[in-house]
Every structure is written in structure tokens, then in C-alpha cells.
Amino acid sequence: MSFSGVKFCVRSRAAFAPIDGNGAGAVSMGEVRPAAKRGPGPIDAETGLFQLGGREGKRNQTQNGFVIGERLFEQSSKANIVRFLAEEPTFAGIGNVRASKLVDRFGDGLLTVIRDRDHAVFEVLPEGVATVLFENFGDAAAEAELAMYLDALGIDERLGKKVVGAWGQLGAGKLRKNPYLLISWVPWDKVDLIGRRIGIPSEDPQRLCAACEYVLYSRLTQGHTWTSLKEVKKHLSAFIGERNAAPAIEACLDNHGAVFNADGLQPLGAAIMERFVIRQALCGGSDQKDMFSNRAWSWSEFELQLREIEAEQGFSFTEMQLRAIRSALEGRFNVFAGYAGSGKTSVLRAICALAETRGLKVHLMALSGRAAKRMTEATGYRSCTIARFIRDHQGSELEPANLVLIDEASMVDLSDLYRILRICMNARICLVGDPAQLPPIGFGAPFADLVALPRVSKVVLDKVHRQDETTGIPAIAKNIRSGIPDVLEIYSGLTDGVQYLHADEVGVPEVIYGIGRAFAQAGCDRDDVQIIAPVKRGAGGVNNINRFMSGLKPRRKFMTGSDTVRVGDPIVYLRNDPQKDLRNGSLGRLISPELAEFDGSEVHVDESDVKNIDLAYCLTVHKSQGSQWDRVIVPLFNGGRSSFVERSLIYTAVTRAAKQVVIVGDYEAYVFAVRSVTAANKRQSGVKADG
């Protein structure tokens, strides 16, 4: 790839003026001299302006008191058209090599020679392959044109694939008309550069509308579905100027890119989804018959079955648990808020058994594959991931005789919940989760919003069963939820409770290793101990701790194809693989270079699995959610004083332990995190704005 330059002469705060395309001397301020020769990329037929492809770079030089700024554009690699030709199924016999040769040989004239069936193509392709290309090109011409256009704009291959997938043959026309449509995939500064290159004025409504939408999209990536007008104007002023902020908001509203709500804005899609979710929560069940309305059945007839379930599990249901069970069977839309260890799984097991007796079809699901597998093992009923459920039922609606149970619902984002509820408009549904735990990775926090909304009917399971009260963990977890940091006991070896051990961040891996050895010497099984870190990076982060632990015995053999995972290392699988019966989050151990053990089953692993396997001496809090160990070690430092390390992370980590938690590092970091606002509460939504 080569660089071509477009130079601008700038002095003080005066406007810039181009130097000619050859860079042959400065022009006077405000004067625009036509380029001496054609710049990089094709010329747009409508605007006559250069469409400079590739990445932009900048370089400043000082000459005779003037600052000469060069804007450099890396020429396009033609990656999109190469990929398109190589992957189009109807172009048999054209792979990456031949596609690259075609592009190198004919450049911007490639589509013309193909349309014209130019025999010059035979110089690159065998005659039979070229003939197939000629015969099938007509149906694919529009997408090929889009690929070429994306290359001219400097859109890389990965983004190009998304654009082609979204718009297909209509894409080129859409982008020529409005390149700002790319903000769904491309950062604002690059999209705006493209728009300005093809001559769109700075105050064009398309540009202003896109700027406002980009602000709202950016907020979505941070989890927010609502933004105050003040905040929107602040962000807009930063990159399109204060003068254009109000017109941008107006243009966005006029173009239905956003909706106004409670002195703020929401992206249209997020607003639609939130309102649908709330409507289902408030109105669900109004048109549904009570499953016990049939005189042949009554709640009392289920009490005997409940007593049998209680006898099997060895404890009786609390009043609130019984209320949750009955509510799930009688109502259409239910929200169960249960703290960690409050017996949510036991409640789900009872609901499944009673629903089956009545003839309801039960659908159990969780966000991750590992969580779904645990639900299957705990309840005895088949469970699946949320993604699988949506995929299997896309475009359909479940009948009323279906009951959908979603575990760890606090982790479900707005988009997924909206899709689920569209499928379950007539079915019974129960959302089960802990609002104090981590919010979704995607945008929104619908479960927390529903729990906080007074008008939504809900059951709160507030009695903790997982940890023995004598451990002190339930009491400390309750204080963490309330934002009250306890004075922790000093670590003194294998003992129950929540303790603290001061350590320097640089030396934390050695300190944690020492704790682990002490546990082992006291008779604790290594599989009953887990390190859980709030962050991935840094000396006290997941990555460094894993590297340190794995490197303690350097002579062990590596997994085939890996330079990080050694025989004997605990490992985590990072995707769902039905063929191997593995889920995203499955924990195991490497027992030979080509063999791993997951949940008691041996699984062959090879080089193709390297990207899907990571060390698991230390897990992120997200990966640990839904699991339990006897003892948990949590590294925490002042470096964690950020919006990321907050109360819900600490709460989730602490409640993964049944007997003992050891916080290693800086006590002040613990205090700071506990006193912070939870991630879910930080997220702004239309539900909260409406009150």
C-alpha cells in the first residue's frame, strides 16, 4: 500500500487552503487551486470530488512560519471486492489468489471488463472459470459494485461484509445518497470524513441527523437507552459545534432517528423495545385464564406434590418461595428477584414439576451455555441458551400452554428480552434473577428496571440458603448491596467468613499462590477454590495471574498449537460447541497435549480449539456468575478505582463462595467499590426517566 497526500496550509486560527496535488508551493489563504493531477481513488460522477480510500493519517511541518498539515490517505487494498469475488458461490473456481490477480490486473475497470465479457480476463482466469463468471455476473453486479464502492471509501473488509449483508444490491445506491448511514458500523470521524469528501455541506440535515444518532448509539454502547437533552447537546457541541447542536436534535427527531421522552432522547429502536417490555409486564395475564380455574384442579391438589418435593430436597419452602411458585403457575408475566443463594433453583425445579403435571410445556433458558447446563443438572429439565431459544422460535409465537423460565435474567439485555417477549406474547413467562448482580453486557438493564418499577408485580426471595449464616457471608453480602463496607477480618488461613489480606499489586500472584498452597495443605481440594478478578489487565488482573500460575511449572508440555496452556492447567471453553457437548464457560483441565477433561468427560482438543480455550486459574467476575465454590480469592487494588469496578462486581464475586472469601490487595479499593453506585443503577433508561 502507498500513501498519497493532500496538504493544507494553516497559520494561526485562519482557514486552511489546499496546496496543489503535487505539493508544489503554497497558495494564499482562502484560495483554492485545482489539483494538478488526479488524487487517489475514483472521482464521483455526481460531485466531481475525489473519493479518497483507506485510512487517514496526519503530519505537520513548519515552513517559513507556516504550519503545513498533511492529511495522508492509505490507498485501498481492494479487500472488499477481492473477498466478494472469492466468496460468491456462483463464481465457481475463483478463490482469493485469482480474485487478487483480477483486481491487480484491471483495477477500477474490473467490473467493466466482466460486464463486457472482455477476453482479456482469459489472461488471468482459465476460460471455463471466466465463462462461469461472465454468465453469473449479472445477478451479482450490484453487490460487486457495492464492494468496489466500499473499497473506494476506505471501508475495511470486515465492515464491508456487514454492509453487504445488511443492504445487498441496494447498498451502493444508499451510500451514494447518504454515506452517513455507515454510522451503524463506522466511527463518526471516519464517516464524516467520507461525507465531507464527497461534498456534503457541514449543515446538511443528513449530516446533522447522523451526528445526533451517533451520540445516542455511543450511549447505547455504554448501556444507556436514554440521554438527557443537556447531555446530547454537550456531546454534539464537541464535534459538530454548539451552533449545530439544536438543529441536529431537530433533524434527528424529524427523521424519526430518535424519540423525545421526559426531557431526553432515546434511539427509536430502544424506545420501541422498552415500551413493549413494560407493556407486556403491566398488561400480561389480563387476557389469560387462571390455570387452576378448571374445577378439576385446585391449588390444594398441588400441595401434596410440593410436600414430596420438599422431602426430596431436605428443606421446606419459605412463604415467599411458595408465593413465587404459585405466581408462576397462575400468572402470565412474573418477576422473581432473588439474592444470591436464596433458593431460586429450588423454586424453578418445583415450578417445572408442577407445570408438567398440569400439561404445560416448560422452556428453561439462561444466557450462557454453562449456566444452561447447570440448570439442566439442577432441575432435571432440559435447558438451552437464550440465543438458541430465539433462533429456534424466530418468527413464531408460543401457545398459551407454554411456560418460559429465564434464569440469571439480570444479565439479559433489552434487545434479547424484547425478542423473547415477542415470541412469548401468549405464553407464561418468569424472569428470575438478582438485581444486585452484574448488569447485561449489551444495552439496557430491563430486569433491574422491572424490579424497581412499583407497578410491576414481583416476588422478592430475600432469605439466603447457599451460605450458612455462621460464615458471615450473607450479612456482608447484604451490606454490600446496601453500599456499606464492613471492617473485614484479617486473613488467618483456612476458616469461614470474609477476610482481607494486604498485598502489593505487583506481588499479588505470589501472595495468592501462597494462600492456595495453605488451603491445599489444610486438606482443601483445588477444585473447591477459585480466583475471581474484577479486571483483566494489570498485575492483579486475570491475564497476569493466569500466566503466573501456569508458568510455575515450566517443564510441562503445552497444549497442541498453544504457547500458553500447559498440561495440568485449569481451562475454560469460550464458545458453545454442541459436537463436543461444551458450552461457553465450561470449566475443565488439560490432561494431555490433545486431551482435556470437562465435567468428568474427556474431550479431544487440537490446534482448532486454541482460540476457544483460555486459562482458568483466575476467572472474570462475569465468567463466574452463576457458579459456586467453597472458597474464593478476589484481588482488588486502587488501580480498580474506576466506573468499571463497582458494587455489583464485588457483590457477585463475594457471593460465589459458600464458606470463605479472601480479598487480597487494598482495603481502600474494597471500600471505594462497595460505596459506588451499581452498574445497573448507573444505566439511564426511558423507564427510569418516566419514573
Reply yes or no on whether the pLDDT at 44 is more than 70.
Answer: no
The candidate with the shortest Cα–Cα distance to 246, out of 203, 194, 214, is 203
Higher per-residue confidence, 43 vs 402: 402
**Cα-trace Rg, the chain:** 30
More confident residue, 329 or 600: 329
Q: Is pLDDT of 109 > 60?
A: yes
Collapsed DSSP state (helix, strand, coil) of residue 298: coil
Closest by CA position to 390, among listed 371, 356, 416: 416
Identify residue 605 by its one-letter amino acid code: V
Model confidence at 691, pLDDT cuts 50, 70, 90, reads: low
Is 679:439 a contact under the CB 8 Å cutoff?
A: yes
What percent of the chain is predicted at pLDDT more than 90?
A: 46
Mark out the alpha helices in 291-365 (DSSP H runs): 300-313, 319-330, 344-358
- Cα separation of the two ends of the chain: 55
* CB-CB contact of 659 with 471 (8 Å): yes
Q: Which of 94, 97, 96 is nearest to 114 (CA)?
A: 94
* Torsion (CA) 541, 547, 549, 555 in degrees, nearest 10: 180
pLDDT at 68 over 70: no
Q: In three state form, how does the secondary structure of 593-650 look? A: CCEEEECCEEEECCHHHHHHEEECCEEEHHHHCCCCEEEEEEEECHHHCCCCCCHHHH
Which pLDDT score, from 0 to 100, does residue 639 have?
Answer: 58
| Residue 60: Cβ-neighbour burial (10 angstroms; 0-12, 13-18, 19+) | exposed
Long-range Cβ pairs for the range 198-205 (8 Å, 24+): 198/44, 198/47, 198/49, 198/51, 199/44, 199/47, 199/49, 202/240, 202/244, 203/244, 203/247, 205/247, 205/251, 205/254, 205/255
HEC sequence for 503-539: CCCCCHHHHHHHHHHHHHHCCCCHHHEEEEECCCCCC
Question: Who has greater pLDDT, 75 or 306?
Answer: 306
Question: CA–CA separation, 632 vs 652, rounded Å?
Answer: 11
The mean predicted confidence, pLDDT, of the chain is 81
38 has pLDDT over 80: no
* Gap between the Cα atoms of 402 and 394, Å rounded: 16
* Dihedral Cα 653, 654, 657, 663, nearest 10 deg: 100
Q: What is the DSSP string of 651-675?
A: HHHHTTEEEEEEEEE-HHHHHHHHH
Find cell 397462575 and name the residue.
330
Strand order in the sheet with 227-228: 227-228, 264-267, 258-260
Phi and psi torsions of 230, nearest 5°: -60, -45
For residues 513 and 288, the model is more confident at: 513
Q: Is 21 helix (H, G, I), strand (E, B) or coil?
A: coil
Indicate the helix (H) or strand (E) that contains 272. helix 268-283
Distance of CA 277 to the CA centre of its chain: 20
3-state DSSP helix/strand/coil % of the chain, to nearest 5? 45, 20, 35
Per the structure block, which three cell numbers stand in for 37?
A: 493531477
Q: How confident is the model over 110-128, as pLDDT tens digits?
A: 999 999 999 999 999 999 9
- Give the pLDDT band (50/70/90) at residue 4: very low
Q: What is the pLDDT of residue 642?
A: 55
State pTM to two decimals: 0.75
User: Do 154 and 73 contact (CB within 8 A), yes or no?
Assistant: yes
